[in-house]
Each structure stands twice: as structure tokens, then as C-alpha cells.
Amino acid sequence: MENTDGGMVQSQLPQTKRKGAFFWDLIKFCLISLAVVIPFRLLVAQPFIVQGKSMYPTFDDRQYLIVDELTYQLESPKRGDVIVFHYPVNYKEYFIKRIIGLPNETISISGGKVTITNTENKDGFVLDESYMSDNLTDKSPITLGPSEYFVMGDNRGASFDSRNWGAVPKKNIVGRAFIRLVPLKDASILPGKYDYTNE
């Protein structure tokens, strides 16, 4: 009869030692997984669920987002970015809004238009918000500090934002909306990203 080699292996360890080795390997796997997942969760990205309609129609209630926490460690937030941040009045609460004004700029709202004044545009320019349908109520100009941002929800008529409670300090920003996972039909990368064209 022909002798064939099926490539099988047999453990030389007793049964109890094999069980101990398996559990030790399982513990090592769990520890390594935690060592990778926990820093990723704390420093790179974390999940959030949208609550409310302040960003509608860009984001709807109960949509599931992954927020990128790393990018703003390497570069500054940009106008048009959708960010998640700690509410300045209550640090335990998280809000999601769009960045409208950048540090050291003056933002004024008049005649339903947002005007930005900065060092490059000393006479100011009207923000191109062709994606918006709401009319804005006039608001006295607000000048931002060197680390402050002016934010508003896309559903302007239903948004509680910088028009009500002022600027967002950079230290309060958690990160930018990076991935929308749920619902699957709306899944996308950098959802809500808008590049203003008139700067």
C-alpha cells in the first residue's frame, strides 16, 4: 500500500497543557486587541449618533457617524467642515454643527446673508451658501478670538448654535464628521463636506 503524507500534525503536549496554552493565547490576543483598539478609540476616531434636526437635511436624526479626531491635531479646522464639539455651556454635551467663521474673523448676519470680514477681506465678503434654503435673522457682528470658531446648523431655523451662545473654543472640538455608516443608503466619507468658493 502506498504511504502518503497528508500534512497532519500532532501535539506532543499533554491535553491539560494544550488547554492552558490555548487560554494563554486567547488572553494575549485580547490584550493585544485592547492595546490597539483603545488608543484608536481615544485618539483617532469615535462613534456618535446624531440627535435632533439642527443639521437637516445634511444629517438626520439617529444617523450613525464616525468622527475623525486625528486631523485637527495636524491641521486647523476649515470653513465648511462639519464638526462635533463639547457644548461650551455644558462640556458634557456634544453638538454637531458646520464651521462658518474662523479665528480672528468678524461674522455679521444681515438681510439673510452671512458676511465674513478678515485680514484678506477687509471689506468683507458674503458667504456662498447656495445649499441653504432658510432665511437668517439679522445678528449683531461677532468678532472671534485667536482660537475660536463660529458654528451654525444647516437647518438654521431650528438650530441652537453660535448665534445663541457664542463661539466654540478650539479645545472643545472633538473632530470632524468623517464617515456616515447608518443608514446604509446614505453611507459616505466626509458627509456634509462643503467647499466655499468665494474666499
For 46-68, the three-class secondary structure string (H helix, E strand, C coil) is EEEECCCCCCCCCCCCCCEEEEE
Collect all residues with Cβ–Cβ distance below 8 Å to 83 and sequence separation of at least 6: 77, 96, 97, 98, 99, 149, 151, 168, 173, 174, 175, 176, 177
Rounded to the nearest 5 degrees, what angle is found at the Cα of 63, between the Cα atoms of 148 and 180?
75
Decide if 76 is catalytic: no
* Distance, CA of 157 to CA of 167 (rounded, Å): 19
Residue 148: helix, strand or coil by DSSP?
strand
One-letter amino acid of 156? R
One-letter amino acid of 42? L
Length of the chain: 199
Q: State the catalytic residue, choosing from 97, 110, 133, 140.
A: 97
Q: State the catalytic residue, choosing from 28, 54, 130, 170.
A: 54
Nearest to 40 by CA among 81, 14, 69: 69
CA atoms within 13 A on the CB side of 170: 14
In the numeric block, which cell numbers belong to residue 87? 457644548
Residue 175: helix, strand or coil by DSSP?
strand
Decide if 92 is catalytic: no
Q: State the catalytic residues.
A: 54, 97
